Amino acid sequence: MSDQRIVGFRQDLEGEWVAELECGHSQHVRHDPPWQVYPWVLLEEDRSAHIGTRLFCRRCEGEHRSDS
């Protein structure tokens, strides 16, 4: 299963928000409609409310495929 809980957030060098996942991987969460719709990354209280939310981890999915 490649859905991982969000355990924290940080900003990258360009100021884009990155979700830190329980698996140890990280993933950008950009609010860039209509392609990426994450309006909750814009405010601190909304990001905090999403701690524990599951997010699909592309890197874990890739690791599972290479194990087969």
Domains detected in the chain? 3-63 (2.40.50)
Distance CA 18, CA 65 (A): 24
pLDDT digits (tens, 9 = 90+) for 10-60: 999 999 999 999 999 999 999 888 888 899 999 999 999 999 999 999 899
Q: Are 56 and 23 in contact (CB under 8 A)?
A: no
Q: Which two tokens stand for residue 33?
A: 């409609």
- Prediction pTM value: 0.83
Instruction: Map residue 8 onto helix, strand or coil.
Output: strand
Which residues, in sequence order, are bridge partners of residue 21?
A: 6
Residue showing tokens 């924290």: 8
Question: Residue 34: is it exposed, middle or buried by C-beta count within 10 angstroms (0-12/13-18/19+)?
Answer: exposed
